[in-house]
Amino acid sequence: MLRNASCFKRVIIRCGKTDLRRGITGLVSIIRLEYGLDPLEEGTLFLFCGNKRNSIKGICFDKDGWCMIVKKQGGRHGHHQAVPQGYGYHVRL
């Protein structure tokens, strides 16, 4: 689990269901096409919620390339609350 997020200037959360079988290329296309954002913006973490509401995938770009973070909760606990598709949140750190 990522314990320190101080390296991120901005966190963008795509709420609703996302097919997490997509790789970095597929998630980058969502960032560009649906939000019109630059996925290469350094210091920005993009988070995507899974279909079963028990997993989250994050991607970020730094000087060395792409980084993908995956978190999956076991069992029934840890489900995140459902938010309608198409909504997104910007969190400034």
Contact 85, 16 (CB under 8 A): yes
Range of the domain at 62: 14-92
Residue 7 lies in a domain: no
Pairing mode of beta strands 44-50, 65-72: unpaired
Residue 6 lies in a domain: no
What's the pLDDT score for residue 76?
57
- pLDDT (tens digit per residue) in 38-61: 999 988 999 998 887 788 899 999
Residue 69 lies in a domain: yes
Threshold 0.85, pTM exceeds: no
What's the pLDDT score for residue 1?
47
What's the pLDDT score for residue 63?
83
For the chain, residues with pLDDT lower than 70 are 1-4, 75-93
- The continuous run of DSSP H or E covering 27 comes out as helix 24-35
What is the tally of structural domains in the chain?
1
